[in-house]
Amino acid sequence: MTKRELLEKAVKERILLLDGAMGSLIQQYKLKEEDFRGDRFKDHPCSVQGNNDLLSLTRPDIISTIHEKYLEAGSDIIETNTFNANRISQADYEMESITYELNKESARLASDAAKKFSTPERPRFVAGALGPTNKTASLSPDVNNPGYRAVTFNDLVEVYAEQVHGLIDGGADVLLLETIFDTLNAKAALYGIQKVLKSRKLEEMPIMVSVTVADASGRTLSGQTLEAFIISVSHFTLFSIGLNCSFGARDLRTYVEELGRKTQCYISAYPNAGLPNQFGEYDETPEEMSPQIWDYLNNGLVNIVGGCCGTTPEHIAAFAKLVEDAKPHVPKKLEPTTMLSGLEPLVINPESNFVNIGERTNVAGSRKFARLIRDELYDEALSIARDQVDGGAQIIDVNMDDAMLDAKKEMVTFLNLMASEPEIARLPFMIDSSRWEVLEAGLKCMQGKCVVNSISLKEGEEPFLEQAEKIKEYGAAMVVMAFDEKGQADTFERRIEICERAYRLLTEKAGVPPQDIIFDPNVLAIATGIEEHNNYGVDFINATRWIKENLPYARISGGVSNLSFSFRGNNIVREAIHSVFLFHAIKAGMDMGIVNPGMLQIYDEIEPDLLTLVEDVVLNRRDDATERLIEKAESYKDTGGEKAAASKDAWRSGSLEERLHHSLIKGIDNYLLEDLPEAREKYPFAIDIIEGPLMDGMNIVGDLFGSGKMFLPQVVKTARVMKKAVAWLQPFIEEEKKAAGNASSKAGRILMATVKGDVHDIGKNIVGVILACNNYDVIDLGVMVPTDRILQEAVNQEVDIVGLSGLITPSLEEMVNVAKEMERRGMKMPLLIGGATTSKVHTAVKIEPSYSGPVIYVKDASQSAQVVGALMSKKDVDSYTGKIREEYEALRQANSNKKEKKYLPIEEARRNKYHIDWDKTEIVTPKKLGITVFDDYPLDEIIPFIDWTFFFHAWRLTGSYDDIEKVNKTITPDEWLAKFSSESAKDKAREALKLWDDAMAMLQLIKEQQMVKARAVIGLFPANANGDDIDVYDHQQADKKLCTFHHLREQQEKAGKKHYYCLSDFVAPGDSGKQDYVGAFAVSAGEGIEPWIEKYEAANDDYSAILLKSLADRLAEAFAELMHFRVRKEFWGYASDEEFNHANLIRERYRGIRPALGYPACPDHSEKRTLFDLIEAEKNAGISLTEHFSMYPNASVSGIYLAHPEAVYFGIGKVQRDQVEDLANRKGWPLRDTEKWFPVNLAY
């Protein structure tokens, strides 16, 4: 086995031990200058005392002894003595020239020691240590020149490459990049490592990284959060990721646990021996440190553990005793998700709201910004970036492409300046240029994971792939334009053709993770008067929908303002176009866009006539849409600013409450000083204004935002207005409290915080105001508060209640973590849960079980005082919390909805399988083995196979309409209706008749207009059962296995049940001596349907759109039935004398079954991938699978054919963990990945 394989094997079996500090042991030798110099460097021109790395050359005996002491103590991995063995650090001693030698010799010493202690049962490993250097690429050492950098990316790449060559040549097994305090330094190091390993064909060499946090906020010295750091280095395949130095084990624990939740790598931790004392020494003994390390081990937090500053072989020996019985951390399997970072993370997943890209720091799009850059007025230019952050931008686009500028120089300068401004640098940046050298220069400045805007196939595949691979190596996501050698895509077909081609090239040839691909399918100007441009908007929307359904994990972006270019100067119309377009594009799947928040209207507040006209244009619903909108636009221009001003101020004539609502919805704070004093006169108390009209307005905003009719920048403005209103009212609230005589003694102390990763606090602030009004002492920790700080402050401040708030979905997981940590620390105080994403059910099911203290969900601010009052009441608290617990228990029961059921162990269920006497079974060899493809199958042959019962069920018309086809043929409508006894049944039957007539008309139209294309592929193959699986073989090479279908077996006990079915029961087992066969199929009747559905929807004819979809579904099912009929009769031929009989088909009165994968008999949807690969369904039938194994087109059916006469349909039902673990082992998948494809079947 290779060293990597040995290391992988070891880390899966047990927790591995690193060594401890090197420097602490060297200090014990009390070495002098001459010890460091030795004979070789006795005449060196400057002092070298303290250059510990030099001792590998001058006192190798000491270094070898230290290594051996750690190995004797139990270390599995020892580090080389090379923490500062790089040119930058060695420059302090004027010893740059011996850098390579230092690394090679240090690695040799460690390797020799490791070999002495290695055994076949327990190999030891050498980690080549790479320190951070003493310079930072992300920050300026000169406070007067924030754009200056003492070291560049390129410098660091060369420095680390030299060090890595020496370590490898000396015998290092692993590379360990440690004590990372600047992520840009680390990215340069990883880039250099990658370069060396590639050149030496050592790509498999394991790489460990270990970061250090600078303070209790959990950020690095260069300002990144831990999650942002993880995202920033995620482009490199890491063996492990960990934490070292910073703190002792107790204080580092929170961050180690966070690492485990946020990465799929193995986790390492080697903390200091406590915190330094007043003399800078580390005091924690092995006995004091061991319980803290045991806490790591007992909770499965780490895979590799060791010590940093102050730790010794005695510490490691103590840890060695602990790891013997400990359980390793199980790396978490994370769903591929688009993750970007600045100083803070930006995670974009299906639940995320639309991401707004700030566009004003673009010399091509902002004359002001271009002027400031040309005049080198960088402070003012930075204020533009800052304004975008304040305005709700989540990514900042920077473009310096101007003929009068040195774009490369200006890009580097401005990015460095932005990186020095924490409020700007917290966001990810988008480097925007049409010149590759500018993009690459920008990438070398990026500490976080940024976005490159953009690359395309314009120059062909080779440069496209070269640039993509480089971007991947720099660790960035990329915008890919819908542009190829033929030019810019301007139709739906061209957009999806280019995007699909680019996606395949990037994922299959360049190895780009699909979640790092952001397509820009080209937002082009509409309503230009040129007919070809009319479909530009709707084509973008449809292409977006197609990309989402067919190119898994890819994201969509676009420059929205391009759309309305033909109406420049008419902002009312432009704003309406942008809002309508975004409303529909976001629903289709658009994730982000370059949008000016000031050029948006609220969708619901667009003037109705204008809204209709704009939707006609954006969705191309009428031939005269452009002319009608131009005519309307003229009316806005003709009235000049008069009509707009009148309309703008009309709201001021509304009631006080309407005016306050309008101010909040529109984000207008100009009139607060006019409206709030009026409110003070109307409402008895200032708090009533907050709880009344202001909260009502916020609720309206919440509804608009939730339905996609307001966008995040607008909500940010709303929050700002609310904060100003609350701030203005606060002094009056305080006065009212004093007047009420409750200023002196407090009713209780409440600590509140928005959890880590979340910056939303408006709701929390309102709760704080309300509680303060009710005489509670409120301690507000603000936003983005780590768990450790929340709980430490709760103890220090002796609070009575902790309240957590959060708006975004990941906050829910963070709240669970807080609850778990409160339980671990033995806390008992009540925990309140609130915020937009929280719910009573989630609190009951996910949070309350994690904490034994009271956990209460608070729906909104108006409930807060009541809930806190009950918790603080000695008389009521027990009965109140008791009722809450009962209510939450009932919610959990309702949620689980699981009755106690009995299950057979899987082995016993297998013993009770359905037994077939294969000796007496005659197996029919298919007449046509292999794959058969059907393209554009005649619909007239499919229609007779339709089961109309399910068609009516789809329209919620349940009844017996089997004979409806006879109406107007052999019986009259009245005669048919007469069979229904009740009037309600007759009424429903009349509707069924109308629907039937419409369906027949639509079917005729489908055939005449060739609205859908029916395609199919079937395959018949040799096969045998292998336990619960079915092995499929090549019909031309009997011993060549093509694939395996993995199946589940029934386990749930039922009264009188004799057999526990699995689909493999109906296929002859391999040891039966008989060759059996199975079939596979995929059919579709949905190709070509989308444009027709869009046409109906664009004309507001939803009825026809739904009717067409439902008929396509029926045609697909009928096509599957027809293919099965032909397989039985012709292609397999085991029922060659079967005659077509519709009633028998509907009642499945024929031999054989065609179970669909993902349905009751085989609920594991992931098996569709095996099926599709076997018969090449995408190529042969035009059907593709999404990332969740849904089929596209939707009107598609797939499955397998089984021919045994005793084969029956059944449902697997619920299964137990023993079977799922067995299935995971057979598939070679982690258990969690296996479980997620049939969660409703899990009985545990």
CATH code of 110's domain: 3.20.20.330
Question: Is 997 one of the annotated active-site residues of the chain?
Answer: no
| Cα angle: 945, vertex 947, 949; to 5 degrees | 165
Task: Specify whether 697 is located in the same domain as 777.
Answer: no
State yes or no: pLDDT of 957 exceeds 90: no
Q: Phi first, then psi: what are they for 381, rounded to 5°? A: -65, -40
Within a domain: 1052: yes
Within a domain: 944: no
1179: how many CB neighbours lie within 10 A of its CB? 11
Exactly one of 56, 561, 811, 1198 is catalytic; name it. Answer: 811
Question: Is 1124 one of the annotated active-site residues of the chain?
Answer: no
State yes or no: pLDDT of 904 exceeds 90: yes
Exactly one of 432, 758, 800, 1031 is catalytic; name it. Answer: 758
Record the tokens describing residue 833, joined without a space.
């849960």
Task: Specify whether 685 is located in the same domain as 775.
Answer: no
| pLDDT for the residue 898 | 53
Task: Specify whether 797 is located in the same domain as 850.
Answer: yes
Record the tokens describing residue 538, joined without a space.
């709707």
CA distance 291 to 299: 12
33-77 pLDDT, tens digit per residue, is 999 999 999 999 999 999 999 999 999 999 999 999 999 999 999
Q: Assign 374 to helix, strand or coil.
A: helix
Q: Which residues, other chains included, contact 526 with Cβ-Cβ below 8 Å and sequence gap of 6+? A: 533, 534, 536, 537, 563, 564, 566, 577, 617, 618, 626
| pLDDT for the residue 744 | 46
The whole-chain average pLDDT of the chain stands at: 90
| pLDDT for the residue 1236 | 72
Mean pLDDT, range 1022-1050, rounded to an integer: 95
Is 758 known to sit in a ligand binding site?
yes
State yes or no: pLDDT of 513 exceeds 80: yes
CA distance 300 to 310: 25
Query: Do β-strands 429-432 and 125-130 pair in parallel, antiparallel, or remain unpaired?
Result: unpaired
| pLDDT for the residue 809 | 52
Record the tokens describing residue 998, joined without a space.
């419409």
| pLDDT for the residue 517 | 98
| pLDDT for the residue 647 | 56
Task: Tell me the residue length of the chain.
Answer: 1244
Mean pLDDT, range 563-570, rounded to an integer: 85
Provide the whole-model pTM. 0.64
Is 1188 known to sit in a ligand binding site?
no
Whole-angstrom Cα Rg for the chain: 35
Task: Specify whether 1165 is located in the same domain as 1064.
Answer: yes
Is 1043 known to sit in a ligand binding site?
no
* Amino acid type, 326: A
Is 309 known to sit in a ligand binding site?
yes
**Burial class of residue 706 in the structure, from the number of CB atoms within 10 Å of its CB (0-12 exposed, 13-18 middle, 19+ buried):** exposed
| pLDDT for the residue 365 | 82
Is 295 known to sit in a ligand binding site?
no
Record the tokens describing residue 795, joined without a space.
């103890």
| pLDDT for the residue 288 | 94
Task: Specify whether 674 is located in the same domain as 701.
Answer: yes
Is 1154 known to sit in a ligand binding site?
yes
Query: Do β-strands 1013-1026 and 1076-1087 pair in parallel, antiparallel, or remain unpaired?
Result: antiparallel
Between residues 1097 and 655, the one the model is more confident about? 655
Is 1061 known to sit in a ligand binding site?
no
State yes or no: pLDDT of 646 exceeds 50: yes
Longest CA span, the chain: 117
Between residues 1090 and 558, the one the model is more confident about? 558
Is 450 known to sit in a ligand binding site?
no
Where residue 540 sits, what CATH number does that domain have? 3.20.20.20
814-873 pLDDT, tens digit per residue, is 899 999 999 999 999 999 999 866 888 889 988 999 999 999 999 876 678 889 989 998
Record the tokens describing residue 1219, joined without a space.
């079977």
| Cα angle: 318, vertex 320, 323; to 5 degrees | 120
Is 254 known to sit in a ligand binding site?
no
Residue 1191, beta-bridge partner list: 1185
CA distance 520 to 506: 15
CA distance 924 to 1135: 10
| pLDDT for the residue 736 | 84
| pLDDT category of residue 26 using cuts at 50, 70 and 90 | very high
Final residue before a domain boundary, out of 845, 880, 897: 897
Mean pLDDT, range 160-183, rounded to an integer: 98
CA distance 158 to 193: 10
Within a domain: 961: no
Task: Specify whether 791 is located in the same domain as 923.
Answer: no
Is 691 known to sit in a ligand binding site?
yes
Within a domain: 958: no
Is 809 known to sit in a ligand binding site?
yes
| Cα angle: 476, vertex 480, 483; to 5 degrees | 155
CA distance 556 to 1186: 16
Chain-centre distance for alpha carbon 813 = 14
Residue 587 parent element (H or E): helix 571-588
| pLDDT for the residue 521 | 97
| pLDDT for the residue 807 | 65
| pLDDT category of residue 641 using cuts at 50, 70 and 90 | very low
Between residues 670 and 427, the one the model is more confident about? 427
Task: Specify whether 755 is located in the same domain as 722.
Answer: no
| pLDDT for the residue 637 | 60
| pLDDT category of residue 1090 using cuts at 50, 70 and 90 | confident
| pLDDT category of residue 1158 using cuts at 50, 70 and 90 | confident
Q: What percent of the chain has pLDDT over 90?
A: 67
Task: Specify whether 695 is located in the same domain as 842.
Answer: no
233-269 pLDDT, tens digit per residue, is 999 999 999 999 989 999 999 999 999 999 999 999 9
| pLDDT for the residue 1240 | 64
| pLDDT for the residue 1244 | 79
Number of domains in the chain: 6
Task: Specify whether 563 is located in the same domain as 423.
Answer: no
Within a domain: 668: yes
Question: Is 963 one of the annotated active-site residues of the chain?
Answer: no
| pLDDT category of residue 1140 using cuts at 50, 70 and 90 | confident
650-669 pLDDT, tens digit per residue, is 889 999 999 999 999 888 88
Residue 338, beta-bridge partner list: 348
Mean pLDDT, range 674-692, rounded to an integer: 92
142: containing domain: 3-21+59-323
Task: Specify whether 1036 is located in the same domain as 1126.
Answer: yes
Mean pLDDT, range 333-349, rounded to an integer: 93
E strand residue ranges, 836-978: 855-857, 930-934
Mean pLDDT, range 771-775, rounded to an integer: 69
Mean pLDDT, range 407-430, rounded to an integer: 95
CA distance 965 to 997: 10
Within a domain: 497: no
| pLDDT for the residue 329 | 94
| pLDDT category of residue 416 using cuts at 50, 70 and 90 | very high
Task: Specify whether 689 is located in the same domain as 758.
Answer: no
| pLDDT for the residue 713 | 45
State yes or no: pLDDT of 712 exceeds 60: no
Final residue before a domain boundary, out of 610, 638, 666: 638
Q: Which residues, other chains included, contact 179 with Cβ-Cβ below 8 Å and sequence gap of 6+? A: 83, 131, 132, 210, 211, 212, 244, 245
| pLDDT for the residue 820 | 94
Exactly one of 235, 584, 760, 1047 is catalytic; name it. Answer: 760
Could you identify the residue written with the tokens 């046409």?
A: 1095
Residue 170 parent element (H or E): helix 153-170
CA distance 333 to 1211: 29
Final residue before a domain boundary, out of 375, 397, 431: 431
| pLDDT for the residue 597 | 65
| Relative orientation angle of helices 536-550 and 608-618, to the nearest 10 degrees | 70
| pLDDT for the residue 638 | 47
Q: Which residues, other chains included, contact 331 with Cβ-Cβ below 8 Å and sequence gap of 6+? A: 263, 264, 265, 266, 267, 303
Within a domain: 153: yes
Decide: 335 and 513 in contact? Cβ < 8 Å. no
Query: Do β-strands 1029-1033 and 1013-1026 pair in parallel, antiparallel, or remain unpaired?
Result: antiparallel
List helix spans (H) across 182-279.
183-199, 226-232, 249-262
Record the tokens describing residue 414, joined without a space.
């401005």
Where residue 855 sits, what CATH number does that domain have? 3.40.50.280
State yes or no: pLDDT of 909 exceeds 50: yes
Within a domain: 212: yes
Residue 614, beta-bridge partner list: none
Is 861 known to sit in a ligand binding site?
yes
Task: Specify whether 659 is located in the same domain as 623.
Answer: no
